[in-house]
Chains A and B, each alone.
Chain A
Amino acid sequence: MGRQKKTEKEVWNKVKDLMEKKQIKLGPHWSFNLHNDPKRLAFVLSRYKFAAKMGAKNKKVLELGCSEGIGTPILSEFALSYLGVDMDSAAIRAAQRNWSDDNTTFINDDFLGKVYGAFDTVVSLDVVEHIMPSSENLFFETLYKNMSKDGVGIVGTPNVTSSSYASAPSQAGHVNLFDAERLKMMMDKIFHNVFIFGINDEIVHTGFAPMAHYLIAIGCYKKKRILS
């Protein structure tokens, strides 16, 4: 009995030896989320996974509004390079502390109107609902200008139809919520091809859009110029 236990522990220790010794210290935002609503981690990561599957492998990826970089490991895993930008300096510090791979960089900056290069894939999740309606055109223009000719743009945001169920802190930050039609309309201004998906929990689908909790738009084949 005792001998068996030891053997199993030995086996497990071997497994542990195969893992890196790295530890991750989450920043205040994700520490709060994990404490108060741990399931959030599941559905937020599922959005990143979907974005990564749609266009991160062997790509130059830019994330606009990366916060603490909770999606960075998924977006950068198979990417050529990853650049995350966020205006929250504490969040960027946490991101830099945790994700220091060679292909990963962070910039502390207000990205609106800025150009960081010509990227294959530009991802922005849970950002556009925090952008004032007066700046939303600038947001999509920024997406457009940071994309290579063959670029793919991925924008995710909570559905306006889900706002009545949102927590108080979520509601306080949301100044510009979209429904599927308006999100498609904005993306149509910069892309020839736009695909809208809905997400409920971790399930990405193409079901009846007003009942989707979250919306994610994939745009590709960028237009020669932005339609007004």
Chain B
Amino acid sequence: MKNKQERSRWEPVKDMMGKREVLIGQHLAHQFTKSPRRILHMMSYYKFAAKLIGKQKNVLDIGCGEGIGTWLLAVECGQANGIDTDSEAIGIGTNNWKDRRISFKCIDLFKMKKKNYDAVVNFDVIEHILPENTYRFFQKISDCLDHDGIAVIGTPNITSDQYASPITKAGHVNLYSGERLEEEMKKYFHHVFLFGANDEVVHTGFLPMAHYLIAVGCRKRKS
């Protein structure tokens, strides 16, 4: 009897949720299966970025993958465009999130023409970019921003590399320390605020012990 009552209360809750289904593609599914906590870490970085960016902003998410974080940006900030060169990942994002607040494009960052974003978000990309190409990359990020736009750049700390899995290590060609990330960002922004993250906790503690680094740049320099 009691069980029936509880179920009758749960049914309307389910009705309110609707019948939508979200597909998790190959890359995220791999993480979900092998190391589910990484999804949690990544979402917390996106949340941190969204909170700093604020409401009613137009955000570009570079290297958005399947766009699960882009969706968070779209919901929290108002408008998000996700770009990635992986067409399969972009296809999944496009199918999952059909909403006027979000759009995806399979495009190389250097082919992007739009220039006046309020914010650029870029997680787990720079460590895959060869050191000799970082200059062009950061400059292009700066070019995508409005004069008062902000850049939120996240990358694993070089000090955490010794604990990384072989598959992760295989892709990393340009790992940063907190100091080097700040130095690099200072070339393109007047103000750089550096944060560390361990698990889901974003903080300002001793940087060499941070697992992940997040740099926030604002007031871009004239190129």
Which chain A residues have a beta carbon within 8 Å of chain B's beta carbons?
49-50, 53-55, 150, 152, 184, 192-193, 195-196, 204-206, 218, 220-221
Contacts and interface: CB of A to CB of B under 8 A. Distances in A.
Contact of B52 (A49, A150, A206): A206
25 contacts: A49-B204, A50-B204, A53-B194, A54-B193, A54-B204, A55-B193, A150-B219, A152-B191, A184-B54, A192-B218, A193-B148, A193-B191, A193-B218, A193-B219, A196-B51, A204-B203, A205-B202, A206-B52, A206-B202, A220-B190, A220-B219, A221-B148, A221-B191, A221-B218, A221-B219
B48 interface: yes
Contacts of B203: 204
A192 B148 contact: yes
A218 B204 contact: no
Given A49-B204, A193-B191, A221-B190, 4 more contacts: A150-B191, A150-B219, A204-B204, A205-B202
A221 B190 CA distance: 8
B62 interface: no
Chain B CB within 10 A, most for which of A50, A53, A150: A53
Contacts of A53: 194, 204
Interface of B: 47-48, 51-52, 54, 147-148, 150, 190-191, 193-194, 202-204, 216, 218-219
5 residue pairs, one from A and one from B, having the closest CB atoms = A206-B51, A53-B204, A192-B148, A221-B219, A193-B218
Nearest to A46: B204
The B interface is mostly helix, strand or loop, or mixed, namely strand
B202 A218 contact: no
B190 A150 contact: yes
Contacts of B190: 150, 220-221
Nearest to B53: A195
Contacts of B147: 192
A192 B149 CA distance: 9
A193 B150 contact: yes
B148 A195 contact: no
Contacts of B204: 49-50, 53-54, 204
A53 B206 CA distance: 10
A189 to B, nearest CB: 14
Given A50-B204, A53-B204, A150-B190, A192 B219 contact: yes
B177 to A, nearest CB: 16
Nearest to B194: A53
Nearest to A152: B191
Contacts of A195: 52, 193, 216
A53 B52 CA distance: 16
Contacts of B219: 150, 192-193, 220-221
Nearest to B149: A193
Nearest to B196: A53
Contacts of B47: 206
A55 to B, nearest CB: 8
Contact of B193 (A184, A218, A221): A218
A218 B147 CA distance: 18
Contacts of B51: 196, 206
